[in-house]
RNA sequence: GUCCCCAUCGUCUAGAGGCCUAGGACACCUCCCUUUCACGGAGGCGACCGGGGUUCGAAUCCCCGUGGGGACGCCA
């Protein structure tokens, strides 16, 4: 049977990191088995769904490069279909009307809670052989409930967690259509997974408890039961559940912060899944290797340090043109013009091995295009009164020599010898004067790129 | 409270009864490289939640604890 997986987010916010991983695994599974990956937008919660959120999800998927073969399907556009199925279930007797008001249910719930019972519907409107139902109250539009089996157990072999079995006694008759006739989540999922021919449902493990209900409905409809794979959740860097308090929860925020999609993808792939000792791999490789057998069933804590390491790796590996474009875009948005400075590609080559993120790279390279702010502490430490005349004299020579790294290096060496100093004694003050700080690539290389004019004027601005 | 799930270095993980004196990666520490900081290279520190079984043998299987998480909506 051809594999068909799906990613089914509800558009109530951006695509967060947990959702992205679910999408990634679902996508990879389809790719691995040359099946289809379907995108379905679960937007039946009209009050909370927004078109902006739909767009945010699409943006996130696109940024990561997770392409889908079918969809996006919108559940709101499938209302007619759901209503037909509900009517059929009503006709078949696998669903029934319930006239309980929300208030009644609230009372019931409180009673059960106070007795330390699991709150659930007591089945008062459930038709039963020989049971006499109360008179239908006036003016209360009924909801439709699924007639869940009362005995036995629902079990499935979860592709991640193994065998899971839940007694039907734990389940109640869930509402599948609201009083206004609109279908609810658990029901739409069932109809969609069925009609879209989903073979593997790969989703977050917060859905484990929905699975037995869904399987029961699938059975009532005579549908095939897909396989289920429940992925554990991703915890924040602090080990706490991911929430709005954790800054970077939207995948697009990783873009903003200067992470490459390859790095995020590689990191996410490795979070909860493994292939022996492999740490760094392409998505193509991932799709070949990916399987559900090597997914960890326990929750995983997000680790920004490791993401940084991977990101640094991908920055080093990145295609030069792409990298330059990214850096250029980011410089531009910071209002830094590169027109008057050195060729950006050379600057990027000089710095790409030193940055964890594109933003770090950008920040460390700004001084080529703008006068840097001088770090006070560094200046204090390295620009000493004794060295000032030496540097000043050097500047005069720099103004006239050949402009090459070799010549500049030779000049510094010469000064070093002449004044019986160590190389850093001269390199460090130069570094501070030219770049603003005490860290940079080799100083002669920096000077060559910066250009004679900038070098001399930046030195003179300080030495006078 | 009830039900369900989970449990190996600080973190992500390898591990399907002997290959485990528990492997890799990030982080951390030391050293090397060096013109500072990075990069890179070589080392190091560091874990099977506890208790019972099963077995000749258990990180691996079973049970019980403990701890963590999830679910219990006319949300998805």
The distance (Å) linking the CA of A172 with the C1' of B2 is 13
The answer to whether A301 CB is within 7 Å of strand B is: yes
A244 is catalytic: yes
Residues A384-418 as b/e (b if ≥16 CB within 10 A, e otherwise) read eeebeebbeebbeebeeeeeeeeebbebbeebbee
The answer to whether A291 CB is within 7 Å of strand B is: no
| Residues 37-56/A with CB < 7 A to strand B | 42-45, 48
Quote the CA–CA distance of A189 and A153 in Å, as a whole number.
Answer: 21
**Which nt has its C1' nearest the CA of A12?**
B76
- 10 Å CB burial of residue A181 (0-12, 13-18, 19+) is middle
The answer to whether A234 CB is within 7 Å of strand B is: no
Quote the CA–CA distance of A105 and A178 in Å, as a whole number.
Answer: 14
The distance (Å) linking the CA of A203 with the C1' of B20 is 34
pLDDT score of A302: 94
pLDDT score of A135: 84
DSSP A336-358: ---TTSS-HHHHHHHHGGG-SSH
pLDDT tens series, chain A, 464 aa: 799 999 999 998 889 999 999 999 999 999 999 999 999 999 988 888 999 999 999 999 999 999 999 989 999 999 999 999 999 999 999 999 999 988 889 889 988 888 888 889 998 999 988 888 888 888 889 999 999 999 999 999 999 999 999 999 999 999 999 999 999 999 999 999 999 999 999 999 999 999 999 999 999 999 999 999 999 999 988 888 876 555 557 899 999 999 999 999 999 999 999 999 999 999 999 999 999 999 999 999 999 999 999 999 999 999 999 999 999 999 999 999 999 889 999 999 999 999 999 999 999 999 999 999 999 999 999 999 989 999 999 999 999 999 999 999 999 999 999 998 899 999 999 999 999 999 999 999 999 999 999 999 999 998 87
Q: What is the pLDDT of residues A430-440, one digit of tens each?
A: 999 999 999 99
| Residues 368-407/A with CB < 7 A to strand B | none
The distance (Å) linking the CA of A8 with the C1' of B9 is 37
ipTM: 0.95
The answer to whether A184 CB is within 7 Å of strand B is: yes
pLDDT score of A239: 83
Determine if the pTM surpasses 0.90: yes
**Which nt has its C1' nearest the CA of A160?**
B5
Instruction: Judge contact between A159 and A227, C-beta under 8 A.
Output: yes
Quote the CA–CA distance of A38 and A319 in Å, as a whole number.
Answer: 31
Mean pLDDT taken over chain A? 93
Q: Which positions on chain B have an atom < 7 Å from some protein CB? A: 1-8, 10-16, 23-27, 35-40, 68-76
Quote the CA–CA distance of A224 and A238 in Å, as a whole number.
Answer: 41
Name the one residue in this structure whose structure tokens are 């208030």. A103
In this complex, the residue with its CA at the shortest distance from the C1' of nucleotide B38 is A354
pLDDT score of A142: 94
**Which nt has its C1' nearest the CA of A121?**
B72
The answer to whether A186 CB is within 7 Å of strand B is: yes
Quote the CA–CA distance of A459 and A63 in Å, as a whole number.
Answer: 44
| Residues 419-458/A with CB < 7 A to strand B | 423-424, 427-428, 431, 438-445
| Residues 63-122/A with CB < 7 A to strand B | 100-102, 105, 109, 113, 116-120
pLDDT score of A90: 96
**Which nt has its C1' nearest the CA of A43?**
B76
Sign of CA dihedral A382, A383, A386, A391: positive
The catalytic position among A83, A88, A219, A244 is: A244
Q: What is the pLDDT of residues A157-181, one digit of tens each?
A: 999 999 999 999 999 999 999 999 9
The distance (Å) linking the CA of A160 with the C1' of B22 is 24
Strand partners, A41: A74
In this complex, the residue with its CA at the shortest distance from the C1' of nucleotide B27 is A305
The answer to whether A316 CB is within 7 Å of strand B is: yes
**Which nt has its C1' nearest the CA of A186?**
B76
Phi and psi based region of residue A256 (left: phi greater than 0; alpha: psi -120 to 50; beta: remaining): alpha
């Amino acid at each position: 049977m051809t594999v068909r997986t799906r990613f089914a987010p509800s558009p109530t916010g951006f695509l967060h990191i947990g959702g992205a991983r679910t999408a990634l695994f679902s996508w990879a599974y389809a790719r691995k088995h040359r099946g289809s990956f379907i995108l379905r937008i679960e937007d039946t919660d009209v009050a909370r769904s927004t078109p902006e959120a739909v767009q945010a999800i699409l943006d996130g998927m696109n940024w990561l490069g997770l392409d889908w073969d079918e969809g996006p399907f919108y559940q709101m556009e499938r209302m007619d279909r759901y209503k037909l199925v509900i009517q059929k279930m009503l006709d078949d007797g696998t669903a029934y009307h319930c006239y309980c008001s929300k208030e009644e249910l609230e009372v019931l719930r409180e009673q059960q809670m106070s007795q330390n019972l699991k709150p659930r519907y007591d089945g008062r409107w459930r038709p039963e052989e020989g049971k006499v139902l109360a008179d239908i109250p006036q003016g209360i539009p009924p909801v439709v409930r699924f007639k869940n089996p009362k005995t036995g157990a629902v079990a499935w072999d979860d592709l991640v967690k193994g065998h899971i079995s839940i007694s039907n006694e734990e389940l109640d008759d869930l509402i599948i259509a609201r009083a206004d006739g609109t279908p609810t989540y658990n029901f739409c999922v069932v109809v969609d997974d069925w009609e879209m021919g989903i073979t593997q449902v790969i989703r977050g493990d917060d859905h484990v408890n929905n699975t037995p209900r869904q399987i029961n409905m699938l059975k009532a409809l005579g549908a095939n039961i897909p396989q289920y794979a429940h992925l554990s959740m991703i915890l924040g860097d602090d080990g706490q559940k991911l929430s709005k308090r954790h800054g970077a929860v939207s995948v697009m925020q990783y873009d903003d912060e200067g992470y490459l999609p390859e790095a995020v993808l590689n990191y996410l792939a490795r979070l909860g899944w493994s292939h022996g000792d492999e740490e760094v791999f392409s998505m193509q490789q991932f799709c070949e290797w990916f399987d559900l057998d090597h997914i960890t069933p326990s929750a995983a804590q997000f680790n920004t340090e490791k993401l940084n390491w991977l990101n640094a790796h991908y920055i080093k590996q990145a295609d030069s043109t792409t990298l330059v474009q990214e850096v250029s875009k980011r410089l531009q948005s910071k209002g830094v013009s590169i027109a008057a400075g050195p060729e950006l590609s050379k600057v990027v080559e000089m710095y790409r091995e030193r940055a964890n993120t594109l933003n770090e790279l950008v920040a460390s390279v700004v001084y080529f295009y703008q006068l840097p702010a001088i770090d006070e502490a560094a200046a204090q430490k390295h620009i000493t009164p004794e060295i000032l005349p030496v540097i000043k004299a050097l500047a005069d020579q720099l103004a006239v020599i050949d402009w090459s790294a070799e010549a500049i290096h030779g000049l510094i060496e010469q000064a070093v010898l002449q004044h019986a100093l160590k190389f850093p004694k001269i390199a460090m003050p130069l570094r501070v004067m030219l770049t603003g700080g005490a860290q940079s690539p080799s100083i002669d290389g920096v000077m060559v790129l910066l250009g004679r004019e900038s070098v001399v004027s930046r030195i003179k601005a300080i030495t006078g």
